[in-house]
Amino acid sequence: MDANPEQTGGATEAVERVIRAIRERFPDAVMEETTLASGWKALVLSPKGLRDCIRLAKELGFRAFYDLTAADYWEIEPYFHVLYVLHSPDPPAKLVFQVRVPREDPVLPSIVDLFPGANWYEREVYDFYGIRFEGHPNLTRLIMPDEWIGHPLRKDYPLTEEPVQFKGHIPEKLPSEVIPKQYEPYPDRARDGDRSGGKG
Amino acid sequence: MSRERVTRAGEQKRLEERIRHTSREELDLQRVGVDQETGRETMLLNMGPQHPSTHGVLRLVIELDGEMIVSCKPVIGYLHTGIEKECEYRTYHQVVPLIDRQDYLSPLNEEMGYVLAVEKLLGIEPPKRAQYIRVMCAELSRIASHLVWLGTSALELNVSSVFMYCFQDRERVLDLFEMVSGARMFPRYFRIGGVMRDLPRRGFVESVRTFLKDLRRNLQKYHGLLTNNPIWKMRNVGIARITAEQCYAYGVTGPILRATGVAYDVRKAFPYSSYQDFEFEIPTQTAGDAYARYLVRMAEMEQSARIVEQVLERLPDGPIVVEDPKIRKPHPHRGLFVPPGKSYVTVESPRGEKGYFVASDGSNKPLRVRMRSPSFAHVQALPLLIEEAYLADCVVAIASIDPVLGDVDR
């Protein structure tokens, strides 16, 4: 069927080509090259070289904007990980750029002028994480109300919840405390694993 | 008429201007009113958030010049439930019911993305039987979702009989879900490592076959009612056009992209859950308007029916969940521990390419679950579709992108 190796091979080649070009043109920007657990290549970039790399990737065929999101690594390291996912229509391939932003003063350059579709995504990340995108035309809250205080998806923003009442009986534990967060009882695996990259 | 195209060069220029227009300036309230120089008068209209044609709670702030839409600003967030935050406080298995509740019209496609992402982190692959069952459920879910789209988009143009027929058919798909999982709308049927339980021994396969037979006949009926209907064509042909390049710039995928002539489908491009074992086509159209999207979705339902039939023919015997007892039956007070890492998986949901990003820190709860929803990208691109069109066509445009607001706001 159409999962032919030719197509997948072409996709891998396209990704490799872009990564080679970025490494040649902007060797300082690339900090690390990893593979996500799902198999996509991810380049860990420095915030300064981010725009140049994205522009180059766009010129080299990754011209469809796909996703922009963030994750808060509080308690592990004082950084947000911001992910940019670009898509190449021909051959179909995905490329992930990953940037680490300090939690104290999170600022990134905006890419709205390169990809107009990034507009809402940057606003969403600003809304939920408080990461400011410099050069964004209208960096306001998108999903939360305008007067909202705080950025809800940060790990230090508490989850508001109330016990689930069942037939008049109110349990002592909150829903998220019924099974508390815990690490696997193997000491080597629990705390020292490779947290930044994928499995590889 | 704004719908006519003068020259190709002119069109290209206009297109570039429009991309820039919607990305650089937001709707300026100061601009609304009488323009002293040109004498043009515009007014502001709030459509929604409780407008029946917005498929939920979408609010459109529309600037109107007569009946022509000058600019439009979608306002979202009315259905924000904080699912992404909630997921970080639940164990990996407890997240699945939450996933169901964002795109409530095609829950099984959503579950597929999440469980695949977690399985990639664990480095496991479910047994073949489970994969085939998942494919069948996802395709039935796609049919159900497209039937809701067809019914509501027809209802918006006052074709209420099609609405009734479609919901009748959809109800039968929900009955099938009830047979396999016990729940109609939110089946929470997929588990990490497989599915919750096996298909019912008696009556299920026959029910699916009967349903598919009736669906095929009914699709012919819908084609007969709508496809060549002059009113339907008048309201849909040439309305809400979008080009492939605009789709790329705004991350628009799924039937909207395929209606512009791009044969991109995640099931073919990055096959997951054994989709490569089945034969199906990617229906495409080239016009890029609402009518093309209608034809694409109608053809997709037929292809989905084809896939389901192939699954029923080839369904292998065997286990339905992985052997590993830690994954199959996680500890009731501890849950499942997932090795640290990041995983990003995309699946083809009825609305477009749905992405799931799951980050783990090695504990029993995910560090981050991100749902990249196609509806979010499509609602963002909505101004491209309806600016410089008539207000009445706005309803058609919203129906043709088929947004689910639970998916947009999450």
Pick the range with the lowest mean pLDDT from A14-28, B15-29, B339-353: B15-29
Q: Which two tokens stand for residue A73?
A: 């690594």
Asked if the C-beta of B124 comes within 8 angstroms of chain A's C-beta atoms, the answer is: no
Which residue of chain A comes nearest to B344, CA vs CA? A38
What's the Cα-to-Cα distance from B325 to each of B196, B286, B321, B406, rounded to whole Å? 14, 50, 10, 34
Asked if the C-beta of B121 comes within 8 angstroms of chain A's C-beta atoms, the answer is: yes
Residue B19, pLDDT > 60, answer no
> CB–CB of B22 and A197 under 8 A?
no
Place B28 in a pLDDT band, splitting at 50, 70 and 90: low
What's the Cα-to-Cα distance from B195 to each of B50, B112, B320, B327, B406, rounded to whole Å? 37, 10, 6, 12, 24
User: Look-up: residue for tokens 């069927």?
Assistant: A1
The SS3 call for residue B262 is coil
Higher-pLDDT residue of A80, B31: A80
Asked if the C-beta of B164 comes within 8 angstroms of chain A's C-beta atoms, the answer is: no
Give the residues across from B360 on adjacent strands: B341
**How far, in Å, CA of B372 to CA of A95, rounded?**
15
pLDDT score for A180: 81
- A69, A112, A184 ranked by CB distance to B372: nearest: A69
- B20, B84, B341 ranked by CB distance to A37: nearest: B341
Higher-pLDDT residue of B228, B10: B228
pLDDT score for B15: 53
**How far, in Å, CA of A161 to CA of B217, rounded?**
49
Which residue of chain A comes nearest to B253, CA vs CA? A66
Is there a contact between B282 and B300 (Cβ–Cβ < 8 Å)? no
> How many Cβ atoms sit within 10 Å of the Cβ of residue A129?
22
Is there a contact between A132 and A80 (Cβ–Cβ < 8 Å)? no
pLDDT score for B4: 45
Give the residues across from B354 on adjacent strands: B347
As to burial, measured by CB atoms within 10 angstroms (0-12 exposed, 13-18 middle, 19+ buried), residue B375 is buried
CATH fold of the domain at B98-377: Cytochrome-c3 Hydrogenase; chain B (1.10.645)
pLDDT score for A186: 55
Q: What are phi and psi of B160, to 5 degrees?
A: -75, -20
Place B26 in a pLDDT band, splitting at 50, 70 and 90: low
> CB–CB of A71 and B370 under 8 A?
yes
Asked if the C-beta of B310 comes within 8 angstroms of chain A's C-beta atoms, the answer is: no
Higher-pLDDT residue of B10, B204: B204
Ordered by start, the domain boundaries in chain B are 98-377
Mean pLDDT of B367-394: 88
Is there a contact between B156 and B47 (Cβ–Cβ < 8 Å)? no
**How far, in Å, CA of A122 to CA of B375, rounded?**
16
Helix ranges, chain A (H): 5-25, 50-59, 118-129, 175-178, 187-190
HSE of B165, CA atoms in CB hemisphere, 13 A: 18
pLDDT score for B193: 87
pLDDT score for B22: 45
**Sheet with strand B352-360: strands edge to edge:** B341-349, B352-360, B368-372
Task: Report CA Rg, chain B.
Answer: 22
**How far, in Å, CA of A182 to CA of B321, rounded?**
25
Q: Which CATH superfamily is domain A5-190 in?
A: NADH:ubiquinone oxidoreductase Nqo5 subunit (3.30.460.80)
**How far, in Å, CA of B81 to CA of B410, rounded?**
6
Place A4 in a pLDDT band, splitting at 50, 70 and 90: very low
Which residue of chain B comes nearest to A141, CA vs CA? B77
